[in-house]
């Protein structure tokens, strides 16, 4: 029997919109955390023709939130299983599943033009960039989304009407110079990256960019050529293993854990020590020796940290044992797979993760760093972003609401919605404050991290002085606010700035794009500071930006639709990134901001 899918929606939704859901065709890119929720929401909202693509297969760690999958599905195609599960519940939907990468050239502009709407439910930037470009080329509206722990965001992208995904530069994923990884690691992450490279060198696909042995070409070591030649000869005579590939050598030893250990943590380190220039300013590494470690009494080894085994930090001996065990397991996996087989590193594969944990920690020890638990190494090695069902559910709900607006052609009503701390909503539009200096220098941006570097600077560093004009732009509705900065000597004590003029509470129509507004010191008419420049005046005409106010949050409070009743929350962090953020954002008291009359 046909189920009255839209029965309840016809009330709140307009009839013609409800009808259009039956005929339109949409593409969902990704069938993971957001994707599962999204597919469910789409069919229950009345969307009939849905195509879904995902190249991934199901892993155990998906099951805490990707509810279309069960244990029996582990290892199968996400897109295919998602389709089958949805059809089991909603047999009337017409779903096509592709177990493939959206970046495959088969999915060309023509393919994208088959759809009225594309929704991203992706987990990586490369694919997001790609879909963004394809949608722009095909002129198909795109809804972009993402979650991380308790945080999430939904953005509508429509050619010619909104910013696109790549309009604003995103922070690039951190990469490290080869010689830092190979010769002079100074942070745990360097050792973790090295250990992942090592896994590939030994068991996986060899990659020339992932060398793990000492880098003799390190410019910092700067030997004189004769010296280097002598060294090269000497190592040749030692039968130095660098002459053959690491993998071949490892294979020739039968993946003997002791030989591997002594090469990696003793011989290679001794070799590094001969590059003495490297250690003039650094603490030199301390080689480890297999035999010596075996002699440590295990009672001396104290496991630190409480709770799960994963969260404990073992000692050198513990990691040495883990190294041996994991090498043995991986060796037998390799043998099982047959001649010429390769393993693929996966953070959720226990022996692979054990190997990286052990190797990274041993290297951390060699370079006098504080060792890390398996749990922490996994976070860093796998770029793990915490993920829960609740955030995905909220974000997927928001995506469909935006989708309905798009199908209704209400682009001016589309919002960028950000889910902030601990499931509290904060709604805003993209907003930037730039200086009218002809160069368009951006002072404050709602894009997280983009203008963080400006936080500690003075306005004068940007050439802002009496008479300067700042322009706050709201992209989605072509709304501009001009702020005239006027210097004054007559501020009361502790008054940092004053805003003169009425803050418009509603955005004007696009035909009237400018609203003048003055910030002046010394005027007693203090209005609500609705601009985002948290500035403070000093007697020498210098202004600095408040360092404990995050630009994004202040701009959000200034956005027209947020009232003072909205919950204001700092960004939530997942526990893992908290420490880093503290450094960037000292929560200091306001004495730091100066200000004086």
| Residue carrying structure tokens 């700067």 | 222
- Minimum distance, C-beta of residue 160 to another protein, in the bound complex (Å): 22
Cβ neighbours around 247 below 10 Å, total: 17
As a residue count, the chain comes to: 597
Query: Pairing relation of β-strands 117-120 and 25-29?
Result: parallel
Closer CB to another protein, 27 or 189, in the complex: 189
For residue 419, the cross-strand partners are 152, 425
Exactly one of 179, 191, 304, 414 is catalytic; name it: 179
Contact in structure between 255 and 247 (CB atoms under 8 Å): no
DSSP state of 567: P
> Annotated binding site for Zn(2+), which residues?
164, 167, 427
Give binding residues for ATP as ranges.
30-35, 54, 62-65, 78, 101-102, 123-128
Burial class (CB within 10 angstroms; exposed 0-12, middle 13-18, buried 19+) of 567: exposed
Residue 195, token pair as written in the block: 């250990």
Kindly tell me which of 308 and 512 has the beta carbon lying closer to another protein: 308
Q: How far apart are the first and last CA of the chain?
A: 77
| The token pair that represents 44 in the structure block | 């229950």
DSSP assignment, residue 309? G
Can you spell out the DSSP letters for 229-271? HHHHHHHHHTT-GGGS-HHHHHHHTTS-HHHHHHIIIIIHHHH
Q: Pick the closer one to another protein by CB: 322 or 435.
A: 322
Q: How many CB atoms lie within 10 A of CB 337?
A: 11
Region at 595 (left for phi over 0; alpha for psi -120 to 50; beta for the rest): left
| SS3 assignment for 430-447 | CEEEEECCCCCCEEEECC
In the complex, least distance from residue 294 CB atom to another protein, rounded to whole angstroms: 21
Q: Cβ closer to another protein: 66 or 468?
A: 66
- Closer to another protein by CB, 2 or 110: give it: 2
Distance CA 211, CA 189 (A): 16
Report, in Å, the least distance between residue 312 CB and another protein.
Answer: 12
Side by side, which strands form the sheet with 117-120? Answer: 94-98, 49-53, 25-29, 117-120, 142-148, 151-157, 416-420, 424-428
Quick check: 235 and 225 in contact, CB under 8 A? no
Tell me the closest approach of the beta carbon of residue 250 to another protein, in angstroms.
28
Supply the minimum distance, in Å, between the C-beta of residue 564 and another protein: 8
Q: How far is the CB of 162 from another protein (least distance, A)?
A: 15
Answer whether 544's CB lies under 8 Å from 594's CB.
yes
Nearer to another protein by Cβ, of 68 and 195: the residue is 68
Residue 59 Cβ vs another protein, minimum distance, rounded to whole Å: 9
Distance between CA atoms of 328 and 314, rounded to whole angstroms? Answer: 19
Active site residue 135: no
Q: Which is nearer to another protein, 277 or 567 (CB)?
A: 567
Least separation in angstroms between CB 368 and another protein: 4
Output phi, psi for 236, to 5 deg: -60, -45
Is residue 393 left, alpha or beta, with left meaning phi > 0 and alpha meaning psi from -120 to 50? alpha
Residue 536 dihedral angles phi and psi, to the nearest 5° = -135, 140
Tokens of 426: 């904060």
Nearer to another protein, 201 or 379 (CB): 379
Q: Which residues are catalytic?
A: 179
């Amino acid at each position: 029997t046909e189920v009255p899918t839209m029965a309840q929606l016809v009330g709140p939704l307009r009839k013609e919109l409800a009808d259009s859901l039956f005929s339109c065709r949409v593409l969902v890119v990704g069938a993971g955390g957001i994707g599962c929720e999204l597919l469910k929401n789409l069919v229950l909202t009345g969307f009939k023709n849905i195509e879904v693509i995902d190249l991934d297969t199901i892993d155990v760690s998906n099951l805490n939130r990707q509810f279309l999958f069960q244990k029996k599905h582990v290892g199968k195609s996400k897109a295919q299983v998602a389709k089958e599960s949805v059809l089991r519940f909603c047999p009337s939907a017409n779903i096509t599943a592709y177990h493939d990468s959206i970046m495959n050239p088969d999915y060309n502009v023509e393919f994208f033009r088959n759809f009225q709407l594309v929704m991203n439910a992706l987990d990586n930037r490369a694919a997001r960039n790609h879909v963004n470009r394809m949608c722009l080329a095909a002129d198909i509206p795109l809804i972009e989304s993402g979650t991380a722990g308790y945080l999430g965001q939904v953005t509508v992208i429509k050619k010619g009407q909104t910013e696109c995904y790549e309009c604003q530069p995103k922070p690039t994923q951190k990469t490290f110079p080869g010689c830092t990884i190979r010769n002079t690691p100074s942070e745990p992450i360097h050792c973790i990256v090295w250990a992942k490279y090592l896994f590939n060198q030994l068991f996986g696909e060899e990659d020339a960019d992932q060398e793990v042995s000492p880098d003799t070409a390190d410019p910092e070591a700067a030997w004189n050529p004769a010296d280097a030649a002598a060294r090269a000869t000497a190592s040749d005579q030692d039968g130095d293993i660098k002459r053959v590939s690491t993998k071949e050598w490892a294979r020739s030893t039968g993946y003997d854990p002791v030989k591997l250990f002594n090469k990696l943590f003793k011989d290679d380190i001794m070799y590094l020590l001969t590059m003495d220039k490297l250690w003039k300013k650094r603490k030199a590494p301390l080689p480890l020796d297999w035999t010596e470690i075996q002699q440590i009494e295990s009672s001396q080894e104290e496991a630190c940290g409480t709770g799960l085994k994963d969260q404990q930090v073992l000692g050198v001996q513990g990691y040495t044992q883990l190294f041996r065990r994991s090498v043995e397991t991986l060796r037998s996996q390799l043998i099982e797979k047959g001649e010429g087989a390769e393993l693929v590193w996966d953070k959720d594969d226990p022996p692979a993760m054990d190997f990286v944990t052990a190797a990274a920690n041993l290297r951390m020890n060699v370079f006098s760093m504080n060792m890390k638990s398996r749990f922490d190494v996994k976070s860093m090695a796998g770029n793990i972003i915490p993920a829960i069902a609740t955030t995905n559910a909220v974000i997927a709900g928001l995506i469909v609401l935006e989708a309905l607006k798009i199908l209704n052609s209400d682009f001016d009503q589309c919002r960028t919605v950000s889910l902030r701390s601990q499931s509290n909503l904060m709604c805003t539009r993209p907003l930037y404050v730039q200086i009218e200096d002809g160069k368009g220098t951006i002072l404050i941006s709602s894009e997280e991290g983009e203008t963080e570097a400006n936080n500690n600077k003075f306005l004068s560093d940007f050439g802002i002085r009496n008479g300067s004009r700042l322009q706050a732009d709201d992209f989605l509705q072509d709304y501009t606010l001009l702020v005239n900065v006027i210097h004054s000597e007559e501020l009361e004590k502790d008054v940092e700035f004053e805003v003169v003029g009425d803050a418009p509470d509603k955005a004007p129509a696009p035909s009237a794009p400018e609203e003048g507004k003055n910030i002046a010191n010394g005027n007693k008419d203090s209005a609500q500071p609705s601009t985002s420049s948290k500035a403070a005046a000093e007697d020498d005409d210098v202004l600095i930006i408040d360092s404990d106010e995050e630009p994004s949050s202040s701009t959000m409070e200034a956005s027209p639709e947020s009232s003072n009743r909205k919950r204001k929350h700092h960004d939530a962090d997942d526990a893992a990134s908290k420490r880093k953020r503290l450094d960037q954002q000292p929560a200091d008291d306001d004495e730091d901001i100066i200000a004086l009359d």
